[in-house]
Structure 1
Amino acid sequence: MKATTVDAGVKRVSILSSNVLKKRLLKNRWLYYMLTPGVLYFLIFKYAPMWGVLIAFQDYSPFNGFWGSDWVGLTHFRTFFSEPEFVLLFKNTFILAIYNIFFFFPLPILIALMLNEVRKEVFKRTVQSLIYIPHFISWVVVVGLVHILFTTEGGILNELIASFGGQKLNMLLDKDWFRPFIIGEMIWKETGWGTILFLAALAGVDTQLYEAARIDGAGRWKQMIHVTLPAIRSTIVVLLILRLGSFLDVGFEQIFLMLNPMNREVGEVFETYVYERGIQQGDFSYSTAVNLFKSVIGIVMVVGANHLAKKAGEEGIY
């Protein structure tokens, strides 16, 4: 008798939950309709192609197809780790990634803090618009501008140096200048766009905190240190964790356009190597294994950074 009563109660709760779910779906149906294109995009172009990573464990041949190619296990990974290019690729990619984190990542925060201190809205919005514009310029155009400025054959900078009697600098072929060029281009192009999220976070800071700080005698600098930065600390941590997820993604297009035989020693990275082996030489399985290795490193970086963030008292991303 008791079991029957319990079963009936469970069934009643299940029916009520189902009715509540149906009402919510019906009430918010237009939101789900608008969500559908985004979900389909990720399913078709992000998740569906993920099965392709399995060819990293095959001796894949386009003629035999996926199901007809032989499985070779971890052979491609062992080959990659034993090749002399592995150390060079890892070193070049790691150095550029470190430069990216230390020189590029803090700049949007600093610019957002400076813009937040500007009281004239017209000037503030004008500066914002000007620093956003480079984001919409393609890397082909950016690298073209760099060549126009720094090439020895009619480059503006070198012509200016020559006009003062100096010797022209062949910086585009000098491997010592490759990394500064890459980071400088990245800073010029993407710093302004990176300020958007930080400015949005700053807009949500409670103004009463600033009033209380002023009452306590805090100036603009101390308000920034003790009110503004703690208020956006969680945003900084989350974006840093996400950035570490793409730690080894230093950008294919930009680096590929800047590469030449003279700077390849310091400029060859995982992305350009994958392009050379996978597209130019048709070694699909090997190049997929290289890219999969890089993705695994990104996952490890995200999990590790999220764990450390939680240990430090932050929420993290999960």
Structure 2
Amino acid sequence: MSLFKGSEGISEIEIHEPPLRKARTRYPLLRNLKRDKYLLILFLPCLLYYLLFKYAPIFGIVIAFKDYNLFQGIMASEWVGFKYFKQFFESKDFFPVIRNTFLLGFYKLLFGFPAPIILALLINEMRNAFFKRFVQTVSYLPHFISNVIVAGIVVMFLSPSGGIINEILAALGLEKITFMVEADWFRTIYVASDIWQHIGWGTIIYLAALASVDPQLYEASRIDGANRWKQTLHVTLPGIAPAIVIILILDIGKVLEIGFEKVFLLATPATYSIADIISTYVYRVGLTNANYSYATAIDLFTGLISFVFILSANWISRKISDNSLW
């Protein structure tokens, strides 16, 4: 209300102020959803994928504790507790399978983890933009090739009759090697093919991290007389250290999660002593024989061990550095 002085005296005029817009503070979630609706639509397929194929199947874990019968269903099947876990621990295949899986995962981590870092550093040092893009493209392409095709390429290249590797050995006067039927070569073949297939894809994160390193640090190091090697050692690597630590922690958690397809395709009866890992054992003993409870128990055990690995790696990283997942 305000006073207005006119020719007839002072009068009062009612002024109605517009109501405050409380929607902004009362419903922030709706406002944010409306603002980011297009981003949420783009994220929706990814969310549905994880809900359907990652979170929804978690309910099936209960099968590991039941004598699952396909016709009775999950809830009506008999509860047996830790029967199948004990069966796996007491099996004669327990230690060989765990050993093969751990060693294959360890060698993959030991040689496969630093490979993308080294390639990213080498690409970062290239000065020819066209050649740099060419190398990036060529190194990325194998990641999109099916494991079936990769296994076929490996078998063809290592064939004792006409394989390019054995032809090179023969040209050098060396004896041809039957790679695919010698157990001692299996881990080398698997790790080498995996590095070739995924090294380019792994460089994406490290190249993005390298792009965030302050160029002024390189200029300061050059003024101090540092060569390219010392710049890499004291500027580049510390700059991408957070990304390296995060990827390392995640990879440690995947030591026992060796892919089934490539091992299954590359393995032969002559290499089972080395190539038989958890995933192939589950397929052969659990799924082929329709023993779903046994297969689920083994996979649940593997998941728990991987969870312990990632927790331990994160705890150690948090103790010795400032970088960790949480």
| Fold similarity call, TM over 0.5 | yes
Once the two structures are TM-superposed, the CA of residue 26 in structure 1 deviates from its matched residue by 2.8
Structure 1 residues 20 and 150: CA distance shift in structure 2, 3 A: closer
Give the 3-state SS of the residue equivalent to 1:262 in structure 2.
Answer: helix
* 1: CA distance, partners of 2:166 / 2:116: 31
Structure 1 residues 154 and 215: CA distance shift in structure 2, 3 A: closer
Q: Contact conserved, 2:97 with 2:278, CA < 8 A, in 1?
A: yes
* Alignment counterpart, residue 201 of structure 2, candidates 193, 205, 213: 193
Once the two structures are TM-superposed, the CA of residue 133 in structure 1 deviates from its matched residue by 1.4
Identity percentage of aligned residues: 44
Structure 1 residues 156 and 32: CA distance shift in structure 2, 3 A: closer
Is 1:58 the counterpart of 2:47? The answer is no
Q: Contact conserved, 1:201 with 1:232, CA < 8 A, in 2?
A: yes
Is 1:83 the counterpart of 2:91? The answer is yes
Task: Give 2:156's aligned residue.
Answer: 148
Is 1:294 the counterpart of 2:316? The answer is no
Is 1:221 the counterpart of 2:219? The answer is no
More strand by share: 2
Once the two structures are TM-superposed, the CA of residue 167 in structure 1 deviates from its matched residue by 4.0
RMSD, aligned CA: 1.8
Letter aligned with residue 303 of structure 1: L
Once the two structures are TM-superposed, the CA of residue 149 in structure 1 deviates from its matched residue by 1.9
Task: Give 2:217's aligned residue.
Answer: 209
Q: Contact conserved, 1:277 with 1:284, CA < 8 A, in 2?
A: no
Task: Give 1:179's aligned residue.
Answer: 187
Letter aligned with residue 95 of structure 1: L
Letter aligned with residue 116 of structure 2: P
* 1: CA distance, partners of 2:144 / 2:48: 26
* Alignment counterpart, residue 119 of structure 2, candidates 95, 111, 132: 111
Once the two structures are TM-superposed, the CA of residue 162 in structure 1 deviates from its matched residue by 5.0
Stretches of structure 2 lacking an aligned partner (at least 5 in a row)? 1-21
Alignment length (residue pairs): 305
Once the two structures are TM-superposed, the CA of residue 309 in structure 1 deviates from its matched residue by 1.0
Larger radius of gyration: 2
| CA shift digits 1:22-78 (9 cap, x unpaired) | 333333333333333322222122111111111000100101111111010011001
Is 1:278 the counterpart of 2:286? The answer is yes
4+ long deviations beyond 6 Å: none
- 1:125-164 to 2 correspondences below 5 Å: 125-159=133-167, 161=169
Task: Give 2:311's aligned residue.
Answer: 303
More helix by share: 1
| CA shift digits 1:183-230 (9 cap, x unpaired) | 111111111111111011001111111111111111111111110000
* 2: CA distance, partners of 1:175 / 1:159: 21
Is 1:30 the counterpart of 2:38? The answer is yes
- 1:2-13 to 2 correspondences below 5 Å: none
TM-score w.r.t. length of structure 2? 0.88
TM-score w.r.t. length of structure 1? 0.91
